Amino acid sequence: MSRHHVKVCSVTSYSPAVAFLFIELRRHLSLFVSLAGIHALCSLFFVWSRNPDFGFASLLAGMAIGIVLPVYLFVDYYREFVLGERVLVHTLPLRTSTLYAIKSLIFLLGNLWVWSGGLINVFWNPAGLYHTRIELSSSPALGVAYLFISKIAGVLCALALIGLAIAVGKQLRKRALIHTMIALLLVATIGVLAVQIMGQTAHWSIGSSSMQTFTQYAGPLTISNVFDTTPDDINDTIRWNSVLLNLGMTLAAGLAIRLLLQSRKYEIYGK
């Protein structure tokens, strides 16, 4: 008998979904923790420092995270569901749509975890959004609820739109067509959402947050409406219809993803 013949591990129960969930958690945890840490540090600068250089660097870091994170998520979905790089995953006795849902759950939690790093500035900074605007609004509880719900809806929608673009693109054979379809679908769906949200005011900015209004989300895109004069009550800038748009798009895209990933045309290892 070998010197290594010991009880290697214990397996408590058979559950491929839980096994895949843990794998995904381990794969992405370090990145999510790192980005959340950077985001939290950036937030802390705003709480303790008025140094404009720190402020600028923190804003840049925040913007970089806003770009890096969606790109990372997209690349991971692409490698798993277009290239099928990890064959083992697709031999598990799970539907492809279940694999997608599990990965998306981890990505949702990871996104929210990274985003939560920025809440230090929102809630702890005396000059932050909560103390200067939400606390003084007609209903602080409603404002805080909207802050969270709109973000969750935006992230859900972003993950669903990426999945939809990949599932539709993968119905095609040629790599160039797949890429074109994915790009077109992402631009079109996010564009439609953005136009719907921007249409409510004449002025807006993309990729930034504002002390005037609540941030709106078109899937992965953040949008701030800009007013000539700051609204007295920030709750007047709550737009539940943008949340409903995101959730509606998530639902529709989710159903389409389920159908497409189960279809005969969807083949991980098609040449």
Partner 1 sequence: MQPIVVCENVSKVYGKKKALDALSFSVHPGQIVGLLGANGAGKTTLMKLLAALLRDHSGEIRVLGETPGLKTKQHVAYLPDREFLYPWMSVADTLTFFGRSFPDFDLERAERLIAELNLNPKDKVRALSKGMQERLGVALTFSRRAKLYILDEPLAAVDPSTRSRIMEMILGNFDPDSAILISTHLVREVESLFTHAAIIDEGRLRLHGSIPELTKGSGQSIEELFRALV
Residues that bind partner 1 (CB under 8 A): 1-11, 13-16, 18-20, 23, 26, 84, 86-88, 90-95, 173-174, 263-271
**What's the closest the beta carbon of residue 58 comes to partner 1, in angstroms?**
32
**What's the closest the beta carbon of residue 39 comes to partner 1, in angstroms?**
25
**What's the closest the beta carbon of residue 107 comes to partner 1, in angstroms?**
18
Nearer to partner 1, 203 or 265 (CB): 265
**How many degrees, rounded to 5, is the angle at CA 153 between CA 151 and CA 156?**
110
Nearer to partner 1, 18 or 60 (CB): 18
**What's the closest the beta carbon of residue 29 comes to partner 1, in angstroms?**
12
Nearer to partner 1, 110 or 143 (CB): 110
Nearer to partner 1, 11 or 141 (CB): 11
Nearer to partner 1, 4 or 50 (CB): 4
Buried b (16+ CB within 10 A) or exposed e, 160-195: bbbbbbbbbbbebeeeeebeebbeebbeebbeebbe
**What's the closest the beta carbon of residue 180 comes to partner 1, in angstroms?**
17
